A and B are shown apart, each in its own frame.
Chain A
Amino acid sequence: MGAILFLVLAVLTVVSALTVVLHPNPVKSALALVVTLFVLAVIFVLLDAHMIAALQIIVYAGAIMVLFLFVIMLLNLQNDDPDRGRRRLVLRGFAWAGGLVLAIELALLVRGAPVGTPGAAPAGYGGAAAVAKSLYTDFLLPFELTSILLLVAVVGAVVLAQRQRRPTIS
């Protein structure tokens, strides 16, 4: 049952990820990315990572994707032009071939990994309490540094996006 569910979710993830990459309309790419992130959250639940699944939906599908959609609509983007010209098509073919080689190589790498089907998870595994305990003890310093990172990002985003007062390069 779990295996069939996982296979269905995996196919859904790959299809929606391909839609992100292939769809000419940026808004529809963004919506496909939302679907990908939701399906990944379900897979996280399947892997007993309940806390991370909730964060995935709140932070990624909620906050980050709203930011993306907001910027796309603010800039009023149109569809991408289709690829024309021989050189462009050849480059595109090379990119896909490179991606295929990368996927095969990673898959071969995975096949040699010494992992199997894990047994039942210990009680409370992946819940908020277990993750928080690790976060506030072993990873306390990185956690505090994260707050500085977010502060810098907020200040940087405001400085970059505000209207420039001095003349700019055009």
Chain B
Amino acid sequence: MIVPTEWVLMLSAVLFSIGVVGVLVRRNVIVIFMAIELMLNAVNLTFVAFARSRGAVDGQVVVFFVMTVAAAEAAVGLAIIIASFRNRTTVNADELALLRG
């Protein structure tokens, strides 16, 4: 392994920022969801990089938990999207403004 940890962390920072921008600029709820997955993966990359840097596997175990939570989140989130699509026939985040004050 010849890659400096900083490089991996930089890549992770860029990926996370792309995910944040994706959540802000897209209006399709499913694509917003994918941008969230992108951010989760950026954080996973950070965990793995630091685990490698410290020579301990604890960080990789945390990544395992993050993946589990992401799977649960995807299942519930997509079910919510299907339910809201059934009621409103849209997945546009601007039109799903029922909770707007």
Contacts and interface: CB of A to CB of B under 8 A. Distances in A.
B52 A121 contact: yes
B79 A161 contact: yes
A3 B3 contact: yes
Nearest to A4: B2
Contact of A118 (B14, B41, B53, B81): B53
Contacts of A95: 21, 24-25
Given A52-B48, A126-B60, A110 B13 contact: yes
Contacts of B3: 2-3, 6, 46-47, 117
Interface in A10-35: 10, 13-14, 17-18, 20-21, 26, 29-30, 33
Interface string A62-90: 01100110011011010010000000000
B1 A47 contact: yes
Contacts, number: 243
A146 B81 contact: no
Interface of A: 1-3, 6, 10, 13-14, 17-18, 20-21, 26, 29-30, 33, 36-37, 40, 43-44, 46-49, 51-52, 55-56, 59-60, 63-64, 67-68, 71-72, 74-75, 77, 80, 92, 95-96, 98-100, 102-103, 106-107, 109-111, 113, 115-118, 120-122, 125-126, 130-131, 134-135, 138-139, 142, 146, 149-150, 152-154, 156-158, 160-161, 163-164, 168-170
Query: What 3 pairs across the A-B complex have the smallest Cβ distances?
Result: A106-B13, A153-B72, A99-B21
